[in-house]
Each structure stands twice: as structure tokens, then as C-alpha cells.
Structure 1
Amino acid sequence: MTEAEVVMRNESGYITHTGKKDFGPLEFTGKIAGGLRLDLRRRAPLFCSDWTDAFTPDNFQKSVSSILYLFIAALAPAITFGSRFLDGTNGQFGVLEMIMSTALSGVLFSTFAGQPLSILGATGPFLAYTLVVYDLAVGSDLEFMPFYFWTCMWCSLFTILVAIFDLCALMKHDIFAGLISLIFIIDGVRPIIENFTEKRMTLTAAMFEALLFLYTFGLATYLSHFRRTPWLLRSMRNLMANFAVTISLVTASALAAIYSSDTSLRMLSVDADFSPNLVLSDGSKRPWIVNPMGIEKDFPVWAIFYAILPAIGFAVLGYLDQNLTSVIVNRPSNNLKKGPGYHLDLFVRGALTLPACAVLGLPLSVASTVPSITHVISLTTYEVKQLPEGEIKRPAKVVEQRATNFLIHVLIGCALFLAPVLKFLPRSVLQGVFFYMGIASLTGNNLFDRLFLWLIWDSSKYPQYHYIQKLPIKRVHLYTVVQVVCLAILYGLKAIKETSVVFPFFMASLAFIRKAMRFLFTEEELKLLDSLPDEDEDTEARATRAFVWPNPDQAALA
């Protein structure tokens, strides 16, 4: 039986096997591990080609360029998030651990997952909730590392159960993409503002850090749009746009190095001896393997079961973050042929990556939306047509395989040997990168697109969004108000220490709030307001309209 006979798409877009109709990737099967077994059946016949397709003569150049590009694109957030973990956990883990987590989790995921195009890394909600777990441990007079170990292990169990019982079928809507953007933006700029109120910071140092922050954000923003300018050659413009964050980070760090001795800049704290960041009371470093029963004092048995509470929160976040990215990567407009594996993705994360991070005491990594989308775009060959309203890009071919993801994370692991260099990165530069990631993630966010409509008072100037053309603007604004209120509550729960432990549960409850909105809106209205432009059209239209952009930068940030 040939590979083409094993894996085909039926008229509904679902994967079929040997011509027989199958359950959809996000449908309940009614059987224990039914969805997981179907994912294995979809992907197992393709496992060998997943490793070889990257290196065929037609795909080799695109694969190599994707590896080099995504290596930098994934390393920069790992460094930035590592610095945030370092500050938020009072040195329990930092940059070295975040790089190791990204590398190890990515290698395991790319080898065994059902959708190996998803790139793993840290995300804003995971950063926020890790700090919640740290506060719980400190507030209960518990050692953080053993408490974190048990939290991750319970989360591993819950994640495996979600995969076994087909609960991925509940993932139908993006209900917290706005939170991700908000965390990046607020947590990016807040430390820069707080510099001016800290007594230990001189005014000169605070001003210089603010300038570095603005320089990093401004240059990254400008270079990301550089392909629109007439300067240089097109290939050079694309290169500078693709590496906008890296160029900004390196040049800002170079400027900081010139004046650092005069301004007392705060630099990234990274040990060059390849040891964990946590320093014990006797001055030694903690061992790499976490002792679950206590490192410097006995860990109480009751705390093992107390860790179930934050573990449920982690499991909810992991479910939402992982599946949100997977749904976007697998959307029909990307024209992927090999099929998704939602349940298998969660199972691999629960059975492999979570225990590995628990044992080594590493921050958790999950499928990260922006790098994952960028990975798909970098592996896609487009058919381009010029029309009066803009450029139509239709994906003609995607290099679907595991090798690029695997090698990207191998290179990230090799970056651990750059630890002596990383200590020259100013923290204000990393805050600029963090802020830029938040602003960039607003592009294409349905909620923020509708928020910007509030600033346009002339209705004739509204963008031609699909729901604008079909709904009264008052109905659009009402829906936006409801979502903004939910987002404000969500961020407030996260920001207040006393309530931060419950914010994943409120996040999960948004699915029920969405169902209750049927009393305010009709089903047709909700369908239009929830959907992306390509979700209410047939497959042929989706493949065309989803790639109509007024300029090339929007395509790069899709």
C-alpha cells in the first residue's frame, strides 16, 4: 500500500485511511485513547518520510534556510524569558535553564509529536503561572524546586489523561491570545518605568536603560518593515527584515558595551560553568537532578498533594497554549497534507517533555504560536498572483518533516556554550525584545483589530473586515466590550498575588461564557465575530483569501 493510499483527505477535510471515513482530528471518538490511536495511525506511515523529506534536492535549500532563521528566532525569546524567570523566581532558574528546556523539549517533541512543525518554547502565560507557583511555595514555607517537581509531575499525569480521553475536541476557539499579547506588552515596559522609582537606580542609569529599550523596540519594528522600502537589493531587505530582532539585540548590546562602565547598566546574569543558577545556603550550586523529597530540608508529604492545585492550572494552560498553536498551524489555508495529531502532541508533552523538565528543574516549554507560524511560512512555497486589491499568495507546497524542528533545537542546545557571551546582554535590551514581541503579536488578533475600530469615528474609513460588511457596527462593538471585560478580569486575576492561582480556571471558564453569549447574539453573529476571514468560506476560497495582503510584512507576521 502506498503512502498516498494510506493518507488522504475526504471532502470534509478530515484524514481518511484506505479510503474509509475517519473521525475528525478534533472530534470525540467515544473510545479510550480513540483520538490518540487515530493520530498514531495517521502519522506512523509517514515517520520515515518525515526525516527524509527535508533533504531531497527540491527541499534542501529551503530546509537549511529555515533552520538558520528559526534558530535565531527561537533563541532570542528563550534568552528573554530566561531573564524574566530569573527575576521572578529570585534566582531559582534563569537563562541557562530556559535555553536547556527549549532545546531538550524541542528535540523530544520534534522526534515523536504528531505535528512536528510546531516550535516549542516559553510563553507569557506559562511565565506568569510559574511565578504564581513560586509565590505559593514561598508562602507555604516550602522549597520551590521540590514543589515545582511535584507540580510538573501532576501536570504530566493530567496532560496524559487529557490526551487519552479525547479532550482536545473541546478546543474550538482562541480564547486567550489577547492575554499573551497583554503580558508581553505590560511586563516588557513595566521594569523600565519602575527604574525611575527605584532608589538604587541613578537617573542616568534609568534614562540610559529607557533609551536602550526604545532603541531595541524601534529598530526591530523598523527592520521588520524594511522589505517595503526601496533600499538595497530585495534579498538584502528580506534578510534584514527576517533577522530584525537579532540585529536590534546585537547592535543595542554593542552600544551598551561602549557606555556600560559610566552608567552601571544591569546585565543578564548567566553562569559560564554550565551549572544550575540556584545557589544553596552553603554557597554551592544545586545538583542538576532535583531531589523530590527536599534539597536542603525535608519536603513534607502533604505538600505533594498540595501541588495538585497549581498542577491543574498548568495543565489548563498547557492544553490551551498547545492546542491554540496546533489549530493555527493546521488550519486549512496552510495547505498541509500529512494531517494533524492533536492528541499525540499532548501525549508526547505529558509523557516526555514535562517529566524531563521536572527532573532537571527547568522552566516548562510549550508550542509557541509566533515561531510555529513562522516555521510553517519559511517552509512554504507560494504561487503569487498580482491583483488590483493586493498580492495573492497561495501555498503551493509545504516541506512537512521533522528534521528542521529537530536541528533548530539541537542548535539551541549548542548555544549553551555561549554562556560567557550572554552575560554582556543588558536587561533593558531584552525588555525591548519582550515588548516588541507583544506588539508584533497584535497583528491579525481579531480582538485587537476590533478594538482599533473604536478609534475610527468615520464609518466610511473602516477596514473591510468580513464582519464589518455583514453586521451593524453596534453589534461588533458590544461583542468587543464583553471580550475586553473578560480580558481585564483575566489579567487582574493574574496580576494580583492573592488571586493569581485561579486565573487559568477563569481562562477555562471563558468557554462557558462564550456559550452564554448566545443570549446576546445570534448564532450567525457569533460565527462571524469569532471566525477568521477564511473560516466561513470553502476550501478553495480559503486558500486564496487567507493570503491576500496589502504589503509583504503582513504575510510575514501572519
Structure 2
Amino acid sequence: MLIVGVAEPTIIMYTYLYNFSMERPELGKELYLAWTSWVCLWTAVMLVLLAIFNACVIINRFTRIAGELFGMLITVLFLQEAIKGVVSEFHMPEGGESHGETHQFHWLYTNGLLAVIFSFGVLYTSLMTRNARSWRYGTGWLRSLIADYGVPLMVLVWTALSYTVPRKVDSGVPRRLHCPLLWEPESLYHWTVVKDMGRVPPLYIFAAIIPASMIAGLYFFDHSVASQLAQQKEFNLKKPSAYHWDILILGITTFVCGLLGLPPSNGVLPQSPMHTKSLAVLNKQMIRKKMVKSVKEGMKQKASQSEIYGRMEAVFIELDASPAHDSADKELRNLKEAMMKDEGGNNGKEKFDPEKHIDAYLPVRVNEQRMSNLLQSILVAIPMFIVPVIRMIPTSVLWGYFAYMAIDSLEGCQFWERILLLFITPSRRYKVLETLHASYLELVPFKAILLFTLFQIAYFIICFGVTWIPLAGILFPVPFFLLISIRQHVLPKFFQPEHLQELDAAEYEEIIGTPRKVSLQVHLSIGLFRVSTIGDTKATYACMHVCRNEGKRVGSGLDPSK
């Protein structure tokens, strides 16, 4: 349930809670779940209070630096757990004798070697499936299926391979998950854990407030940031955001999970940017398919460009039946201009082809719905009823899965990209500018990028160091909340405002850099258009930067002040 139902920080937090409980005779394994139930109840109270007092407005104070450090910490912690897990395969598991396992040297050595093979196998093949769409072999739908669901497929494949180990070795090799069935006493205890909550010593009931505040802070931060990224302006969402209502519902579900002895599920998948983008692509494909069909029918009937455009407009209005968007008129106007270019001859230009040219004029819309939330909850509940299947999975396969989650999260992390930039020699940095890149690479001097990255690395080491403190490790979210004050009062003293805005802006505020091979005229046209239409300050700096550097290079004598 921890793996399929919650975010990564909750797994780390429950590890601390388990170790804390096992080290104290007053709690132990007997009262561990009852104590975590008190943690969930306190967490629920805090989340409800956060929602009542509209605390979600604070989330705007968190900038990119907090999200990047938080993501990098979770990445490193998951990689750390994966390494510890693989090493543990060479040692005797806790309570191994009770499961009838023989732990002779040859058993542990064989189990450890197989764990290395299976964990690295899952990691490598899962990373390979990410690029399945560009493979040469297989049909398109098969490559898409592998790219979308490659990780669970690899878990199934390597689990099946684990059964090819000869039985002569030992029936307990490789080591597999120990998970009680629903009707066994160890599982039935979950549903009656509420009766043992009164047995928890009062000291530990109030001590549960400390981990509860950390979990509430994690959920507040994780859920709000995910929702913020998933509700970017370019998605043209119709329904208003409901941050406070989401946190309120999250508090209620945490309360129910606590009474059942289950880990709370914060369900951030439907609020993820990946989920929103997939829904936007779906809507775009629907509109494209019907528009192209209407254009081809008009061409067969030799209709005029105006009549063809009328049909496309009707399709647009029919499929975009939501309340009017601000960009709808502009999208239709641009589409009409593209169609009318062919009226009376194409004047030597390429004729409008819907298959080639219609994509540039399609609207960005999101099929906003609640079906994904319901399906996710159903899928989370399914593993409870397929425990016999889950028990077949080797533990080493999960260590490989943990490592994959860690490495996969690095893609798109600007902090990680800037760390890699430090290792690129100055003579080779122009290669980065020839590809799509973030705007700070052009607008911020490398010295400022270096200092900012070194600050992040130093702060990350502090955050990671807190997790190694035996008792205080549970307070690892605290440094992230301190970043609000550091970002507002400390960093502006060491960095220029325009540089800090570029390095630490929200993702949707960035200007995507253009490859250097694009002409100077295109650079200036785009930049000056943004300046004249929306007064984009960053575009002003971009234009000055282009004039100053590109102008010198081509000897055009451009004056940045003009």
C-alpha cells in the first residue's frame, strides 16, 4: 500500500516511524500501527486547519529552488534505499527463521548475486523502454504500449525470470515479498487497530504530533506544488483551482486511513503535469481528426476556402463546447488567415495541407474530469485483493524499481542540468545553446549560474545530512520551509534581481531558449513582439542580450539602448 498508494516522502517517513517504534519497548511491533494511527489523526487535524485558514496561499512563496531541492532529496533517498536493499540481500532478513528459511553462506551468497542481477536488470530495461517510441521494430501501438507501461511490464518479466532459477539451489532463492493474506490474523488486525489506539502511552500520543506535522507539511507542499504545475495558464483550464477543498478532502481521507491502520494516500497523480498534458493531447487529437476529415470532404466537393474554413469552424465550436476561452478567437483567426492564403491561388507558396499544417493552429484544451481520480483509487485498492500474486515478486525487483524511480525523476530537473553544466568545458558550452534550452543560459552570466548551483549543492548536503540524524531525521522537511525566508531575504543580497528571477522562477514563467542557429532577425522579431504586446520584461533583456552579443559577432553595430 505504501508503494502503490502514496508519494515517495510518505515511504521515507513511515520508515522513520517504524524504526522509532521498534527501538522502544513501550510501542514495539504490537502498537506500531496503533501509534501510526494517532500520527494520521493528528495529520488530518492539521490538514483540515490548513484548509480552513486558506494556508494554500503560502504555496506561491515556494519557488523553483525549493521544488528542485525537494525532488533531488527524494531521488537520493530512493537511490539510497535501493542500494541498502540490494546489500541486505546478502544478509539474514529480520524474522527469517520464522519463515523456515535456511541461511547458510551459499544461500545468502546466491540470493545476493541474483538480487544484483534482477535489480540492475529491472533498472536497465525500464530505462530502455522510455525510448520505445523511437525503436525500429514493432508496430506503432506496440511501441507506444511499451513506452507507456514499460516499467510494470519489466516487473512482470523479471518476476517471471526469477522462476527459472533451478530448484536445486533452494526454494527460498530469490527472496520474495512477505505479505499476509487478507483473511490472516496479521491482516485482520488492520481493521481493528482502532481498539488498540487507547493502549498507546499518553506521552507517545502527544509525541505523534511531531511526525504528524512533518507529514502534513509534506502533503501540503507536495500536493499544492503538483496542483500548481498541473494548472498552468497555457493549459487554458475552464474550472477554477480548488487548492483548499483538495487539502480538506485530503485531511478527511487521512483520518479514515488512520482509523483503518492504513498509510494515508495523497493521490497526486491526477494533479500531475504529466496527467494534464496527456489529457490535453487527447483533446487535440480528437479535434485534429475531425478537422482534417472536414477539410478533405470539402476538397473532394471542390468547395471554396471560405466554405472549408466554415466547416472547420463548426467542428471547432462543436468539440470545444465549453465556455469561451480567451484564446479561442485568436486561434480561429489564425486558422482563417492560413486558409485564406490559398484563395485565388497560392502565389507560389505551398498549398495548405491539413495533414501537415493544421497542427500549428489547433487549440490547447484539457479534458477536465474526475474519472482519473476514481480509477486511480480503484487501482490502488486492487492490490489488496491480489496479495497471492504480489507475494510472487522478488524483493530485488523492487530495489531495481526504486532505483528506476530515482533516476527517472532527474529528467527535466534544472538543478541536475546545472550540475552537469559545471562539468562542460567552456569551449563546448555552445553545444548546449544549439539545442532547446532554458532562458537563463542566455540571460545569466556563467559566474552567477555557478554560485547559485554551488549554493543549492551546499543546501542539499545540509538537507540530506538531517536525514542521517537518528531521532531528528524525521524533521527533514523543515529546511525546505526555511527556504521561503532565505529566498526572500538572503539570496537577493548575493544575486541581481533579473538573474535571480531567471534562475529561480516558476517553470511556467520561463522563456524557452532558441537554438543559436536561428537567425538574428527571428530572435529580435520574437522578442520585440513580446515586448510590444505584453510588456514582457524578460523579453526586453533577451533583445538587449541578442543586440549586444549577436550584433558584435556579425559586426552590425546594433545599439542595445535603441
Same fold (TM over 0.5): yes
Note the C-alpha offset of 1:353: 0.9
Q: Which residue of 2 aligns with 1:493?
A: 466
The letter of the residue matching 1:158 is M
1: CA distance, partners of 2:473 / 2:502 = 33
Q: 1:364 aligns with which of 254, 258, 264?
A: 264
Does residue 162 in structure 1 map to residue 50 in structure 2? Answer: yes
Indicate whether 1:522 and 2:406 are aligned.
no
Matches within 5 A, 1:500-515: 500-515=473-488
Q: Please tell me whether the aligned partners of residues 122 and 158 of structure 2 are also in contact (alpha carbons under 8 angstroms).
A: yes
Partner Cα separation in structure 1 for residue 409 and residue 221 of structure 2:
17
- Aligned residue for 1:268? 177
Task: Report how many residues are paired.
Answer: 414
Deviation at 1:265, TM superposition (A): 0.9
Q: Secondary structure of the equivalent of 2:410?
A: coil
Q: Is the 8 A contact 2:194 2:260 kept in 1?
A: no
Query: Could you tell me which residue of structure 1 aligns to residue 406 of structure 2?
Result: 438
**Does the alignment pair 1:345 with 2:246?**
yes
Whether the 8 Å CA contact 1:334–1:395 is kept in 2: the answer is no
- Deviation (angstroms), 1:394: 7.2
Q: How many percent of aligned residue pairs carry the same amino acid?
A: 26
Structure 2 CA distance for partners of 1:146 and 1:193, relative to 1, 3 Å: closer
Preserved CA contact (<8 Å) 2:179 2:387: yes
Task: Name the counterpart of 1:408.
Answer: 376
For the pair 1:535 / 2:509, whether they are aligned, the reply is yes
Cα deviation digits, residues 198-228 of structure 1 (max 9, x gap): 6866322211111111111111111111101
* Offset of residue 541 of structure 1: 13
Larger Rg: 2
- Which residue of the partner structure matches residue 377 of structure 1? 277
Q: Which residue of 225, 229, 239 corresponds with 2:135?
A: 229
TM-score by length of 1: 0.68
Residues 430 and 392 of structure 1: CA distance in aligned 2, closer, same or farther (over 3 Å): farther
| Cα distance in structure 2, aligned partners of 1:411 and 1:155 | 24
**Which of the numbers 206, 214, 237 marks the counterpart of 1:336?**
237
Classify 1:146/1:416 alpha carbon distance in 2 versus 1 (closer, same or farther; 3 Å): closer
Q: After TM superposition, give the deviation of residue 426 of structure 1 in Å.
A: 0.6
Q: Is the 1:466–1:533 Cα contact (8 Å) retained in structure 2?
A: no
Match of 1:311 in 2: 212
Secondary structure in 2 matching 1:337: coil
* Secondary structure, counterpart of 1:361 in structure 2: coil
Structure 1 residue identity aligned to 2:36? Y
Alignment of 1:24-35 (within 5 A): none
Q: Corresponding residue for 2:392?
A: 424
CA contact 1:490–1:506 (8 Å) conserved in 2: yes
1:184/1:437 contact within 8 Å kept: yes
User: 2-side partners of 1:441 and 1:221: how far apart?
Assistant: 11
Report what 2:95 is aligned to.
none
Q: What is the Cα deviation at residue 499 of structure 1?
A: 2.2
- How far did residue 371 of structure 1 move? 8.2
Q: How big is the shift at 1:277?
A: 4.3
Higher mean displacement: 502-511 or 155-164: 502-511
1:183 counterpart = 2:86: no
In 1, Cα distance between equivalents of 2:535 and 2:192: 53
Give the structure with the larger strand fraction: 1
Question: Could you tell me how far 1:168 is from its partner in structure 2?
Answer: 0.9
Give, as a single letter, the amino acid of the residue that structure 1 aligns with 2:208. Answer: A
For 1:251-330, list aligned pairs within 5 A.
251-259=157-165, 261=167, 262=169, 264-275=173-184, 277=186, 286-291=189-194, 293-294=196-197, 298-330=199-231
Q: 1:395 to 1:361 in 2, by over 3 A?
A: farther
Q: Residue 43 of structure 2 contacts residue 212 of structure 2 at CA under 8 Å; is this kept in 1?
A: yes
CA gap 1:139/1:207 in 2 versus in 1, 3 angstroms: closer
> Root-mean-square deviation (CA), in Å?
3.0
Partner of 1:19 in structure 2? none
1:455 aligns to what SS in structure 2? coil
Q: Match for residue 147 of structure 1?
A: 35
Which range is displaced more, 246-255 or 335-344?
335-344
- Which one of the candidate residues 476, 479, 489 is aligned to 2:449? 476
The Cα of 1:260 is off from its aligned counterpart by 6.5
Matched, 1:244 2:134: no
Contact 1:150 1:292 in 2 (8 A): no
Alignment partner, residue 354 of structure 1 = 254
Q: Structure 1 residues 439, 370: CA separation in 2 closer, same or farther (over 3 Å shift)? A: farther
Shift of 1:153: 1.1
Distance 1:372 1:483, change over 3 A: same
Match of 2:439 among 466, 471, 492: 466
Whole-Å Cα distance in 2 between the matches of residues 524 and 193 of structure 1? Answer: 47
User: In the alignment, what sits opposite 1:132?
Assistant: 16
User: Secondary structure of 1:497's match?
Assistant: coil
More helix by share: 2
Measured after TM superposition, the shift of residue 195 of structure 1 is 3.6
Inter-CA distance 254–213: structure 2 relative to 1 (3 Å threshold): same
Which of 1 and 2 has higher RCO (CA within 8 Å, sep 6+)? 1
Shift of 1:372: 3.0
The code of the aligned residue for 2:181 comes to A
Task: Name the CA distance, whole Å, in 1 between partners of 2:482 and 2:196.
Answer: 34
> What residue ranges of structure 1 are gaps of 5+ in the alignment?
1-77, 83-98, 103-121, 279-284, 543-558
Residues 318 and 412 from structure 1, CA distance in 2 versus in 1: closer, same or farther, beyond 3 angstroms? Answer: closer
Query: Structure 2 counterpart of 1:228, which letter?
Result: S
**Cα shift at 1:468:** 0.5
Query: Retained in 2: the 8 A contact 1:330–1:336?
Result: yes
Instruction: Give the partner amino acid of 1:291.
Output: V
CA distance in 2, matches of 1:336, 1:535: 17
Where 2:365 maps in the other structure, the secondary structure is strand
Gaps of 5+ in 2: 93-102, 289-352, 512-529, 537-562
- Out of 113, 120, 123, the residue aligned to residue 217 of structure 1 is 123
